[in-house]
Amino acid sequence: MSSKLKIFELLDVLDNLKHLKRTGWVKCGVTEPETVACHMYRMAVLAMALEGEIDNLDAMRTVKMALVHDIGEAIAGDITPHCGVSDQDKFDLEKKAIDTIASYVPNVGDEWTMLWKEYEEAASLTARVVKHLDKFDMIVQADKYEQTHAIDLQQFFTSTTGVLTMEPFATWDRALREKRNQRINKE
């Protein structure tokens, strides 16, 4: 039985993600910013850690969604709200990219596409958890960059105020903001 897996095309996608610096950090002047792959990896590890923390959450499905939620950026690029691209155009670019990537992995491509679409629509508990992981990871990273690069990344905290409503994220968000405020007030 021969494989229909397009391994070298998939490896190119993964290589792109390993080297694609996250646009928000680049635009803020962060030296050596994380890549999209770094972001997705940390989200996946956090998703594994949520096992038993959220009722009825399928942690392995959450890990899978965390690993594919930004995979289309390998082709479409990391488009932020500040890039001048409409939400619909961003969706269309990423949808085309995920369809292309799914064609490289025919045995699981439909699942990857479904997970990506579910994430985009926030259509399930899993998707809502991954959305929360995405925002929480972003502000944790912003806090770390503020500490290591002595820059002000308040815009990331402002954009997520009141967004993390699901537990345990709401509690983690409050704790992070309290720690950050204490650090800022000491400076």
**pLDDT for 72-99, tens place per residue?**
999 999 998 888 999 999 999 999 999 9
Q: Does any domain span residue 176?
A: no
What pLDDT is recorded for position 167?
Answer: 97
Q: Is 22 left (phi over 0), alpha (psi -120 to 50) or beta?
A: beta
How many residues make up the chain in this entry? 187
Q: Residue-wise over 81-117: b if at least 16 C-beta within 10 A, else e?
A: eeeebeeeebeebbbebbebbbebbeeebeebbebbe
Tell me which DSSP letter residue 31 carries: S
- Enumerate the β-bridge partners of residue 21: 35
Q: Does any domain span residue 35?
A: yes
Q: Does any domain span residue 173?
A: no
**Domain residues for 77?**
7-130+147-152
Q: Does any domain span residue 93?
A: yes
Q: Does any domain span residue 66?
A: yes
pLDDT at 1 over 80: no
CATH at residue 72: 1.10.3210.10
Query: For residues 41 and 21, what is the distance between their CA atoms, to the nearest angstrom?
Result: 14
End-to-end C-alpha distance for the chain, whole angstroms: 64
Q: Does any domain span residue 175?
A: no
Written as one letter, the residue type at 110 is: D
Nearest-CA neighbor of 114 among 63, 93, 5, 123? 123
Neighbours of 163 (CB within 10 A): 15
Q: Does any domain span residue 185?
A: no
pLDDT at 2 over 50: yes
Q: What is the pTM of this model?
A: 0.94
Joined tokens for residue 28: 């803020």
Q: What is the pLDDT of residues 22-63, one digit of tens each?
A: 999 999 999 999 999 999 999 999 999 999 999 999 999 999
Number of domain units in the chain = 1
Q: Does any domain span residue 180?
A: no
Nearest-CA neighbor of 97 among 122, 116, 118? 116
Tell me which DSSP letter residue 162 carries: T
Nearest-CA neighbor of 61 among 127, 10, 123? 127
